[in-house]
C-alpha cells in the first residue's frame, strides 16, 4: 500500500488543513472541530444548508461549501459518521436565523447522529428551526451494510445544488426543504468498481476482486453491490448502470434530465468521458434530453477505480435551481 499520507490518524485533520489553506476566502474551520463552514457563515437571514458524513469521499462534502451550495460540512473519520457533537457545532455555527436544512445521506449512523444533533442544537437555541431531507438515490440494493433502505450516494450533489440555490434566492425553510425533496424524489444512481478502495487505517484492500472481475452496484464504502461479473467494456458498464437507473427513475417520455458520470477516485477523467459518451447516447435513444451533464470526481471512495451514473428528471423549478450561480471549491456555476 502506497499513499501520499503521513500518520493514518492525522489523515482527516491534515486534509482539512490542506483545504483551508487552499481556499481561505471560501472556507474556514470551526475551531476545535472537523467542521468546515463557508468563510462568511452564518449568513444572516438566509436558510443554511448543512451536510457531512465520513471522510474519503472528497470533494464531498467540504468541496461544495460556498455561495449557492453548502454552509457547513462535517467530516467524520474515514467512512465513519461525524459525531452528534460535531454536527451540533456545525448547525450552531451556520444558524443565520432563518433555519437550517440538514441534507443527510441514508446511512444509519449519519441519520441517527444528524437527528440527535438537530435536537440538541434546537434545545440550545430557541429561535432555531431545523428541517431535514434524507437522500437515498442508490438504486442498486434495498438494504445494505450500513443502511435500512437505500444508500445515499452521488445524487446528493444535485440536492446540495438545488437546496443551496433555493436558500440563496431567499426561499424560507419549508420551501428550501421542498426543493431538496423534489430532487431526492426524482434522482437515481448506480455505481460499479474495478478495484477495491484501501483505507489509510487498514492499508489493504477492503474487498477482493479478481484480476478480471468487477462489481456492479457497489456502495461508496465498498459495500457489496448486486453482482460480481467478468470485466466488461465501458459501453457494457454504461448500459448496465444507466438502464438500472432509468428503470427506477422512470422519466417521462421526452423529459429533460441532468446527469453525472462520477469517478470513484482512482479512475482517470478520460475513461469517464468514454462512459459519458455512451450514457448520453442511451439517454438520447430513450427519447430523453440531456439538459446538463457533469463528468468528474464528485463523490469518491478514496482510491477506488470505477464510476457511477446519476440521472435526475427535471422540472422547470429544479432546472432554475441547478442553473443558478454557485461558487465553491469543487463546483462553480456562473450566470
- Quote the DSSP letter at residue 62: G
Task: Scan residues 250-289 and list those touching its own copies (CB under 8 A).
Answer: 265-277, 280-281
Among 206, 293, 319, 320, binds its own copies (CB under 8 A): 293
Q: Are strands 256-263 and 289-296 parallel, antiparallel or unpaired?
A: parallel
Q: Shortest Cβ distance from residue 168 to its own copies (Å)?
A: 15
SS3 49: strand
Most distant CA pair in the chain, distance: 58
Q: Is there a contact between 207 and 141 (Cβ–Cβ < 8 Å)?
A: no
Asked if 123 is part of the footprint of its own copies (rule: CB under 8 A), the reply reads: no
Marked catalytic residue, from 57, 61, 160, 240: 57
Verify whether residue 57 is a known catalytic residue: yes
Rounded Cα distance, 284 and 292, in Å: 13
Rounded Cα distance, 193 and 179, in Å: 31
Q: Shortest Cβ distance from residue 219 to its own copies (Å)?
A: 17
Q: Under 8 Å CB-to-CB from 264, ≥6 apart: which residues?
A: 191, 193, 197, 220, 297, 300, 301, 304, 305, 306, 307, 308
Q: Is there a contact between 104 and 61 (Cβ–Cβ < 8 Å)?
A: no
Among 42, 59, 76, 217, binds its own copies (CB under 8 A): 59
Among 27, 30, 130, 302, binds its own copies (CB under 8 A): 302
Verify whether residue 221 is a known catalytic residue: yes
Among 2, 204, 285, 316, binds its own copies (CB under 8 A): 2
Task: Scan residues 11-30 and list those touching its own copies (CB under 8 A).
Answer: 11, 14-19, 21-23
Marked catalytic residue, from 61, 160, 221, 240: 221
- Quote the DSSP letter at residue 228: E
Footprint on this chain of its own copies (rule: CB under 8 A): 2-6, 11, 14-19, 21-23, 55-56, 58-59, 63, 194-195, 211-212, 214, 231, 233-235, 237, 265-277, 280-281, 290, 293-295, 297, 300, 302-303, 305-307, 327, 332, 334
Q: Which residues are catalytic?
A: 57, 221
Amino acid at each position: 500500500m502506497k499513499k501520499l499520507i503521513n500518520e493514518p490518524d492525522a489523515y482527516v485533520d491534515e486534509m482539512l488543513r490542506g483545504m483551508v489553506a487552499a481556499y481561505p476566502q471560501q472556507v474556514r474551520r470551526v475551531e476545535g472541530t472537523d467542521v468546515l463552514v463557508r468563510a462568511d457563515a452564518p449568513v444572516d437571514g438566509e436558510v443554511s444548508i448543512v451536510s457531512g458524513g465520513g471522510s474519503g469521499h472528497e470533494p464531498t462534502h467540504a468541496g461544495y461549501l460556498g455561495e449557492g451550495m453548502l454552509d457547513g460540512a462535517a467530516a467524520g473519520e474515514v467512512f465513519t459518521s461525524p459525531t452528534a457533537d460535531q454536527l451540533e457545532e456545525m448547525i450552531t455555527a451556520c444558524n443565520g436565523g432563518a433555519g437550517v436544512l440538514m441534507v443527510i445521506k441514508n446511512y444509519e449512523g449519519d441519520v441517527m447522529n444528524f437527528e440527535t444533533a438537530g435536537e440538541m442544537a434546537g434545545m440550545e437555541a430557541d429561535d432555531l428551526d431545523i428541517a431535514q431531507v434524507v437522500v437515498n438515490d442508490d438504486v442498486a440494493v434495498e438494504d445494505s451494510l450500513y443502511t435500512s433502505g437505500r444508500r445515499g450516494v452521488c445524487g446528493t450533489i444535485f440536492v446540495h445544488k438545488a437546496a443551496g440555490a433555493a436558500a440563496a434566492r431567499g426561499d424560507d425553510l419549508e420551501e428550501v426543504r421542498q426543493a431538496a425533496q423534489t430532487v431526492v424524489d426524482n434522482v437515481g444512481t448506480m455505481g460499479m468498481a474495478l478495484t477495491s478502495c484501501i483505507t489509510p487505517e487498514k492499508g489493504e484492500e477492503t474487498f477482493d476482486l479478481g484480476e478480471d472481475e468487477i462489481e456492479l452496484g457497489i456502495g461508496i464504502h465498498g459495500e457489496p453491490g448486486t453482482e460480481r461479473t467478468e470485466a466488461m467494456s465501458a459501453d457494457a458498464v454504461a448500459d448496465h448502470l444507466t438502464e438500472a437507473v432509468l428503470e427506477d427513475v422512470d422519466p417521462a417520455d421526452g423529459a429533460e434530465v441532468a446527469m453525472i458520470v462520477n469517478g470513484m477516485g482512482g479512475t482517470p477523467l478520460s475513461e469517464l468521458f468514454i462512459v459519458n459518451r455512451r450514457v448520453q447516447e442511451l439517454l438520447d435513444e430513450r427519447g430523453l434530453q440531456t439538459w446538463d451533464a457533469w463528468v468528474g470526481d464528485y463523490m469518491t471512495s478514496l482510491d477506488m477505480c470505477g464510476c457511477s451514473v446519476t440521472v435526475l428528471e427535471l422540472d422547470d423549478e429544479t432546472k432554475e435551481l441547478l442553473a443558478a450561480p454557485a461558487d465553491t471549491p469543487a463546483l462553480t456555476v456562473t450566470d
